[in-house]
Amino acid sequence: MDGAYANQYGRGRKPVLSASLESDIFWEIAMKTDTFSNRSLLRLALRSLGALLGLSLWLSAGHAQTNNAAVETAKALIKSFHARDLGAWERTLAPGFVGHYPGAANLGREQARVFNQVFIDAFPDLRFDIHHVAQDGHTVMIDTTGSGTFSKPMATPDGMIPPTGKAGVVRVVFIVDTRDGQIQSERTVWNRMEFLAQIGLLK
């Protein structure tokens, strides 16, 4: 394994902005990690789009929000992104927390903090507009549009990427498992390839 990968996320972890787009985790509806290899970027994009569409349809189909406390707990990462401070989000994480993000699955607390801090640092105007919120048992799903301008250097295992000054907009779904006011696990589903192209990192 590349030493930078291990240093960034621990052994067996994938980096922020990994060199291989074909290893991105664009969709995880089945609550599992699915990796891809030897497939065209077009097929990846279509699969990602289909997953996001399916989640959006489920969220807008009238599933009731039944536990306001759980929903507010699930919004912790979004609120921390807006505040540009992950402290409040970290305080909601359960001891055995596991995070799953595009290109980085099975992250512990500290690894997840490092992953999310990258976006706060590189996108000072990062924000998420919430469209739908739904709950199924302990699981809260939040359908949003994320936007931000790549105006600060971005940290990656291979070094700093200089800002392009370009803005990106992408649909993001947060899938959060909460119990007793704590976040047990958290997933974000979004098309990283689309976002990278918008901010000038994918030709």
Q: What is the DSSP string of 14-35?
A: PPTT-S-GGG-----TTSS---
Q: What is the DSSP string of 74-110?
A: HTHHHHHHHHT--HHHHHTEEEEEEEEETTEEEE-HH
Q: Can you list the positions of beta strands (E) in 150-199?
A: 154-156, 159-161, 167-179, 182-190
How far is residue 45's CA from residue 42's CA, in Å, rounded to a whole number? 5
Instruction: Report the predicted TM-score, pTM, of the whole model to 2 decimal places.
Output: 0.70
Topology (CATH level 3) of domain 3-198: Nuclear Transport Factor 2; Chain: A, (3.10.450)
Q: Where are the domains of the chain?
A: 3-198
Burial class (CB in 10 A: 0-12, 13-18, 19+), 149: middle
- Reported as half-sphere exposure (CB side, CA atoms, 13 A), residue 189 has a value of 26
- Residue tagged 């105007």 (tokens): 125
pLDDT more than 70, % of the chain: 67
Angle, in degrees to the nearest 10, between helices 76-83 and 109-122: 40
Looking at residue 54, what DSSP letter applies? H
- Residue tagged 């507010």 (tokens): 72
Tens of pLDDT, residues 40-72: 444 444 444 555 555 555 555 544 445 689 999
Q: Which of 10-14, 100-104, 124-128 has the lowest mean pLDDT?
A: 10-14
Mean pLDDT of the chain: 78
Tens of pLDDT, residues 69-100: 999 999 999 999 999 999 999 999 999 999 99
What local confidence, expressed as pLDDT, does residue 105 receive? Answer: 93
Higher pLDDT, 60 or 148: 148
Q: What is the DSSP string of 100-165?
A: EETTEEEE-HHHHHHHHHHHHHH-TT-EEEEEEEEEETTEEEEEEEEEEE--S-EEETTEEEPP--
Strongest mean pLDDT among 6-10, 24-28, 40-44, 48-52: 48-52
Does residue 128 have a pLDDT over 60?
A: yes
What local confidence, expressed as pLDDT, does residue 7 receive? Answer: 39
